[in-house]
Structure 1
Amino acid sequence: MKSFTRRGFYAAVVIILTATLYFPVSRVKADSDKHEIEAFLNEMFKDRAEALIYPHMNSIDKYYLPEKVSQVALQHERLRAEYVNTWAEKRALKLVSSEVNIRIIRQNIVNDKAQISLVQSHKVGYMYINKVMSEHVFGVGTRHFLTLKKSGKTWKIAKEWYLDPLDEDPGKISDGFVGATSAARAKPELADGTSYKRKRAVNYANKYAGAAWGAGNKHRYNKKYLDYTGKGGDCTNFASQVIGDPEEGGGLNMAGGWRYYPSSGGTRTWVQTDAFSNFLTRSGYGRLIAKGDYHHIVTPSQKYPEGAISQLQAGDLIGYILRNNDTDHFSVVVGFDDYGYPLVNSHTADRYRVPFDLGWDRNTKYQLFHIKD
């Protein structure tokens, strides 16, 4: 009996040691990789944010592999910083702060490779050059899909994709400055009208601006509505919600083909940019103030001595045309900075109080829609 017990004891020890050698070790390694990756991502996004305002881009080179696909991702970040800083220079601004928060959605780690999806909320501050004004801040939100590889003892970016609201050619930014003209006209106090609840619409746009820094609702869209991001974009769906949601939004009555059905989603006019653009004027809900490139809408004219852009109010909409006279994007005017620059919110990609032309170039045409109260 004693000898059996001793053999049983030794066998149990062997089993325990074997389990310790195989199962916990693999778990420990997986946990270690997870923590390493989280630390890497937080440090990398922090350094990329700082590189936006201190564009000495060598500071982020260390996060990328020498392979072509990885270097393409690095080049995108360099051009992004160049674009934003060139835009700021042309608008007599200076970027003064840049901070990010990330939320990792999922990680799939296999050996020395990791597939990551995450959401970034980015806060950017700017000030006007030679103007005594406080810092203005805006937010953008982006959804990132990354492949990381371990190189030696550190992780590196093998490839990355995200829909970037600031992805434009820095050599194609319109010259000129809109602040001086749009500030010349006093903006009416934000209030709810008889048919259009303008103040409520702006509050809705701020609450549901998604992943962008500054947005409410814990950076989530309104769950009452389908998310069309993966079906061509959610910007028009969002604009329709802002002016039409009966409980929190502008409360315009659904009319004609402009409708949202909880069971099936939005109609073509509700979610498709061109159809929505046409609906605004045909329905009488909106009035097209002007349509044209940056210079056309900011240049004083006989009809608009301070430029057509000065006629916008918070709660109005801007359509963006890239080519073939087709509307490609919609944003919601939610206010103005201290120098009168119109600020917008949108989905796909998510923006919160972003200067209206940041992320666009001199080929963009703007449709300025006033929503009638």
Structure 2
Amino acid sequence: MKLFITMITMICFALNTYSFAGASNAYTEAELEVVHFLQELFDARSQYLLSKDEKEILNPYYLPTETLSRHALRQEEMRKQYIHAWAAQRKIQFVRAESHIRIPRIRMEGDRARVSVVQSQKLDYTYMEPISINQSFGVGTRHALILIKKDGKWHVLKEWYSDPLNENPKLISKMDENFPNPSIHEHLKSTSIAKGKSKYRRDRAVAYANKYAGAAWGAGNDKRYNKKYVDYTSKGGDCTNFASQVIGDPKEGGGLQMTANWQYWFNSGGSHTWVQTDRFSRFLQNSGYVRVIAKGTFEEITKVSKDHPYGVIGQLKPGDLIAYILHGNDVDHFGVLVGFDDYGYPLVNSHTADRHRVPFDLGWDQHTRYLLIHIRD
């Protein structure tokens, strides 16, 4: 996403600066202290995320006397405020949060440590009315931290990461009382396309999106991107590269035929149209591969009517795309629609930050406009 270019570059620089074996039996005693601190920190964050207002859960991990440490703590507070406000608007309740981390690199510098952490977080939720079974989705984030040891304890001194749940809790779009609708699953069954009989292999596209959703909980491939493709995270974001892979990978993905402008060279990387949001969006709309269903705000695309009992977004099928527009007409992000939860809420996968079966508007605000792109079968 364009707004995150500077932040992403800083994160990736930090993640690429330090090298570490990563095996538990290779840790020194000092490094093992850091590992235990990080495990406790990220577990505490998950606990705090769903708590009411228990700041004491996180306070011991930060330094109130340090400006950057206070800023890092404030980011977690804003994250919590946003997700609770979003849940209230969507009439859902979060019931569980789990955090799993991988620590690729540690560099000890006396009483300081520079570390990179890859977090896979699982969030479970349920609808308040009617009563439903738990739903789950996953996000993946890459963190660069500077830790400092004071009075025999480690603390967060500074941190950077691109957070898919970091948004203004006061700018959440309101929802139509008749949206979502669980009967969309029966509707999808009645309009489904037979597998393997179309130019666009929709079932494979969805499978690809789930396999290569990166660090997000629930993703396959050992939570790694597809190594056949360049990771463009440090070059401004990998969301468009991922969307292109999903619909265009010839072996595992949707298999749409590459063109002179939209293609990937496996020995060097993707064309501008393959990896850049605006160029990809313009290509799709002029390619003949897609039909743009609608463009509008959350309220506009989810409004239930006689003609659109599931909202106009209900015309999308798994394997279609959603483009996100923040300002003007420039596209800032792409997500892949991979399905609907049990109650009919549209779910997306994406890169930068990594998402797996995440409600499509989570992490966006009321000013976001959505471009709904149906790929012709």
TM-score by length of 2: 0.88
Unaligned runs of 5+ in 1: 1-29
Within 2, Cα distance between the matches of 1:308 and 1:77? 34
Within 1, Cα distance between the matches of 2:36 and 2:200? 47
CA offset digits 1:296-325 (Å, max 9, x no partner): 101135653432111111000000001121
The 3 A distance-change label for structure 1 pair 149 and 316 is same
Deviation for aligned residue 1:104 = 0.4
Equivalent residue for 1:270? Answer: 274
Deviation for aligned residue 1:264 = 2.0
The 3 A distance-change label for structure 1 pair 177 and 82 is farther
Deviation for aligned residue 1:215 = 0.4
2:166 matched to 1:162?
Answer: no
2:92 matched to 1:93?
Answer: yes
Rg larger in structure = 1
Name the SS of the counterpart of 1:209 in structure 2: coil
| Contact map agreement 2:178 2:304 (CA 8 A) in 1 | no
Equivalent residue for 2:188? Answer: 187
Equivalent residue for 2:149? Answer: 150
CA offset digits 1:145-193 (Å, max 9, x no partner): 0000001110000011101111100010111157734544411347344
Within 2, Cα distance between the matches of 1:193 and 1:268? 30
Within 2, Cα distance between the matches of 1:179 and 1:313? 20
Q: Percent identity?
A: 53
The 3 A distance-change label for structure 1 pair 106 and 70 is same
The 3 A distance-change label for structure 1 pair 180 and 301 is closer
2:42 matched to 1:45?
Answer: yes
Aligned runs of 1:1-373 on 2, under 5 Å? 31-55=28-52, 56-66=54-64, 67-177=66-176, 180-185=179-184, 186-188=187-189, 189=192, 191-301=195-305, 303-373=307-377
Name the SS of the counterpart of 2:179 in structure 1: helix
Structure possessing the higher relative contact order (Cα contacts under 8 Å, 6 or more residues apart): 2
Within 1, Cα distance between the matches of 2:40 and 2:172? 31
Deviation for aligned residue 1:278 = 1.2
Unaligned runs of 5+ in 2: 1-26
Further displaced range: 128-137 or 200-209: 128-137
Within 1, Cα distance between the matches of 2:312 and 2:181? 9
Within 2, Cα distance between the matches of 1:193 and 1:343? 25
Count, aligned residues: 344
| Contact map agreement 2:321 2:335 (CA 8 A) in 1 | yes
CA offset digits 1:86-115 (Å, max 9, x no partner): 101100000001001110011111110000
Deviation for aligned residue 1:31 = 2.1
TM-score by length of 1: 0.89
Equivalent residue for 1:25? Answer: none
| Contact map agreement 1:178 1:298 (CA 8 A) in 2 | no
Aligned letter for 2:149?
K
The 3 A distance-change label for structure 1 pair 180 and 324 is closer
Within 2, Cα distance between the matches of 1:168 and 1:57? 19
Within 1, Cα distance between the matches of 2:33 and 2:89? 41
Within 2, Cα distance between the matches of 1:187 and 1:129? 25
Within 2, Cα distance between the matches of 1:179 and 1:295? 12
Within 1, Cα distance between the matches of 2:259 and 2:178? 36
Within 2, Cα distance between the matches of 1:367 and 1:302? 22
Further displaced range: 191-200 or 247-256: 191-200
